[in-house]
Amino acid sequence: MSVTRKRIVVTGMGVLSSIGKDVAEFKQSLLDRRCGISASPEYRKYFDGAYASEIDYAVDYPGLDPDVIKNVDKGALWAYRVGREALLDSDLFESPLKEKIGLMMGISAGGTEAFLPALLGEPEKLNWKMVQNSGSYSSVSHLAASLLDLGGGFELVSTACTASPNAIGLAFDAIQNNKSEVMLAVGSEPLYIPTFAGFYALKAMADGPCSPFSGVAGMSIGEGAGALVLEEYEHAKKRGAPIYAEILSYATTGDAYHETAPDPKGEGASFVMNFALRNAGLEAKDIEYINAHGTGTEANDRAETLALGRVFAENRDVPISSTKSYFGHNIGSAGVLELIACMLTLSEDKILPTLNFSEARSYCDLNYVPNDFREQKVNVFMKNNYAFGGNNCCMIVSMQPDSKAASTYEPRRVAITGLGTVSSLGANTAAFFEKIAEGVSPSALEKLPKGAAGPGTPNLIDGGSAPDAVATGDTSEGAESQGIEGMEELLEALKNLPVDEEGNLNFRFHRVVKFNARKLLRNFDPRKMNEICTFALVAVEEAIADAGYKVPKGRREEVGMIMGMSRGPTSTIQKLTDSLQPNPNNVRTKEFAMSLMNSIATQCSIARGVKGYNTTLATGYNASLGALMQAYEVLRQDLQDYMVVGASDEKGAGYTPIMHLDQTLLNYDADPTAYQVYSAAGDGYFAGEGSCCMLLEKYDAAKERGAEIYGEIVGYGRASDRLFFNDADHDAQDHWGRAMGRAITLALNEAGIAPKDVDMICGSSWGTRYSNLAELQGVRHAFGEAAKDIPLTNFNNRFGFIEAASGQMNLAATLHCMRENTVFPILYTQDFAVDGLNYATEAIKKEIRHALVLGVSEGGNNYALLVRRPE
């Protein structure tokens, strides 16, 4: 039965830019044609002729304590600032609706600022409290959600220059599936030296303010943040909210071409525009204006012009301009700021010009709007953004809500037909299933030598440049003079580390079994690939083969890909940061591209020729569950035929020194049975590495082609505990689990089943007090008395806690339980954290029709995914 899509409107906006500290100032600067790109004193210290669009004024953060401002990075603070403005604009900042409002956020340089002094050769200026608060990539999302007091869950999109429009797309989809009537979409991107150095090394920079499509090619880099409140139209009208525009549709695709360069044929860019038009139920002739990506580089402007000419062959007079000529390329926040710029000026019947426009380049033959506003009333316009890794995003927007017919779709059932796993249990799913059933847990003792630098922790524990107290473990009083902010806390953490007599730190780790990637992968060159990509490539290859599916050469766009990430390619990030010293001009371009969070999805897409829906969610622990939910949503709305979805983590994600200095996480007991999930002690986890990937497809199509179906996804929920600073010791433990209870209820409601119909629960808690209580108390909140009858298990201590991938690993194990009609047990734990639940301490034989998989992130995101046994 056909379903009419909900109308999604914009009811609030927030801005922070080089040309405006708020929406009003930003709009006036646009109308005044003010260019915010100028010579950069900061970056000319390192790079000749550096230009940038920078926020060079003091930013105020109303409502935040000075200590918070001092100890949180700008990525989170700017998200709070623009999110607050947007929520105030929409009259929601103090609304009880905030408990249900979710946050979808985009960024490219997450977690950088905390380590910036070390990157610049000044480790004595490190702020240890900021390292604790903002030292992980995903921290910006959970900090922003907590600061804004939002309870509807969050995701962090990391697709470089398309991060914020992709975040808007996720918010759009969440409302479509009744997860909330209101969502907040944010892009936040401070400019830091690794980003500037990378683009400079690629020789992509302009010698002055950029001039897209004209003059001398080159881009201008910038920074800023933007926020939009998205809301269901009838809900917005009912409460009298301001309505600025309607988001008609969005689409995202991948080029499957190159790590940094766009496909010169513009094929992926053409696909994404056509898909967005299809999703809106429109044609190219309906578009009255295009706000282009328009970076100013030859590669982008040539490929984009070619793609636009192809899609708009019958409408070549449509006006086109690039807003980057005003405030540069803001990377992760580019799309949302440019979209806001369009809405603010089109509401005045003015089409934005491309500033600094001289003579169009020979290959730029479209209807560009140069230098001055074009007076024209526009209803429907298109907003395009493209990114490293060949990620493309397109949004179609109406300035007159309810003026176009709402699009429709046929809701699809979603099947899991392929599995691929790489872990300490084996390099294939058969071995994984066998060891799950046997109850094997093959961890091994690892050693972090005294003075060693851990992957992903640049220069912090490097005896050559870091303060002695950190580099050598010297906790004497003299060490306190090193100048690190929060040194007393750091010294206390160092004193508590269980080092041996030689000063080495020993811990148990689940290392991936040895395998020969060249035998498993075609055209594999280990010299060009890091471990996290290798694990993912092997898992993706197996998942596709296991499903009995081949990506068709002539229809590669019918397959999409979503990857979940936590710390990402830490070994490559280490190489990149090392290359910044002593001269940032020597940064290696290969590491720059491969250090990005979306590089894993990029490499997998290139290897398998996957050109459909493409995004990366770097939300941290159990990010694979968020990736699964979005892949399900794309298929449910009939936007894609097949989706490859997974997550991957390499060894660096398991034993960085920062993790060792947080005593609430890792368990240091040498006893291999010491990792006990859901234990009352909450002693932490043994870490692991590996990857899990799945192929999802439409259920009916899977049946028709005779595919073996592991299970059907029938519902999901997402909600967030509003933790601040990820403080596992704060006094709100009685509240832990309420968000998980809400997430479970959302999943049950979507599936249309009662709590009593759930036959087993599998959690993904990693074994700390917070993660244990969030899941277990959440089960009690959602199921009440019924909880005592539902077997509950968790498989993390079989393969180690693999940060991003564990949720999906647990789902894979759950699907095996369903096949075997057996709930395989929790290993080792005897004294559980919460009474009154039916813990599976031994194998339980029973028919399993519905299974619930749970997971929480380190920042308080709660996931609930409901799967059903195939018919």
660-680 residue pLDDT tens:
666 568 888 899 999 999 999
Round to whole Å and give the CA distance between 65 and 814: 45
Q: Are 758 and 850 in contact (CB under 8 A)?
A: yes
Question: Which of 329, 510, 781, 816 is labelled catalytic?
Answer: 329
Q: Which bin fits 533, alpha (ψ -120 to 50), beta or left (φ > 0)?
A: alpha
Identify the bridge partners of residue 687 per DSSP, sorted by sequence position: 509, 801
Long-range contacts of 371-374 (CB under 8 A, 24+ apart): 371/33, 372/33, 373/31, 373/33, 373/345, 374/319, 374/350
Identify the bridge partners of residue 102 per DSSP, sorted by sequence position: 183
Positions of the chain with pLDDT lower than 50, given as ranges:
453-482, 653-655, 725-731
Q: What is the DSSP letter of 529?
A: -
Residue 649 has what pLDDT? 95
Who's near 570: CB < 8 A, 6+ residues apart?
Answer: 455, 456, 532, 650, 652, 653, 656
Q: Residue 562: which H helix or E strand, with range?
A: strand 559-564
- Phi then psi for residue 41, to 5 deg, are -60, -35
Question: Which of 161, 364, 533, 693 is labelled catalytic?
Answer: 161
Furthest C-alpha separation in the chain:
76
Round to whole Å and give the CA distance between 325 and 340: 15
Round to whole Å and give the CA distance between 775 and 622: 13
Q: Is 868 helix (H, G, I), strand (E, B) or coil?
A: strand
Distances, alpha carbon 346 to alpha carbons 36, 49, 76, 382, in Å: 21, 35, 30, 12
- Phi then psi for residue 610, to 5 deg, are -90, 120
Token pair recorded at residue 24: 């009003």
Active site residue 364: no
Q: Among 675, 677, 746, 694, which Cα is nearest to 715's?
A: 746
Cis peptide before 755 (omega within 30 of 0): no
Residue 391 has what pLDDT? 94
Active site residue 329: yes
Identify the bridge partners of residue 564 per DSSP, sorted by sequence position: 617, 647
Who's near 209: CB < 8 A, 6+ residues apart?
Answer: 35, 37, 38, 51, 220, 325, 355, 356
Q: Are 264 and 302 in contact (CB under 8 A)?
A: yes
Distances, alpha carbon 198 to alpha carbons 44, 113, 255, 260, in Å: 15, 16, 21, 11
Round to whole Å and give the CA distance between 232 and 177: 11
Who's near 281: CB < 8 A, 6+ residues apart?
Answer: 404, 405, 406, 407, 408
Number of Cα atoms under 13 Å in the Cβ half of residue 86: 34
Distances, alpha carbon 56 to alpha carbons 19, 227, 373, in Å: 10, 20, 27
- Phi then psi for residue 356, to 5 deg, are 65, 15
Q: Are 225 and 16 in contact (CB under 8 A)?
A: yes
Question: Which of 142, 210, 235, 293 is labelled catalytic?
Answer: 293
Residue 652 has what pLDDT? 63
Q: Are 839 and 792 in contact (CB under 8 A)?
A: yes
Q: Among 377, 416, 420, 383, which Cα is nearest to 399's?
A: 377
pTM summary value:
0.95
Q: Are 38 and 326 in contact (CB under 8 A)?
A: no
Q: Are 566 and 621 in contact (CB under 8 A)?
A: yes
Q: Among 283, 306, 310, 273, which Cα is nearest to 385's?
A: 273
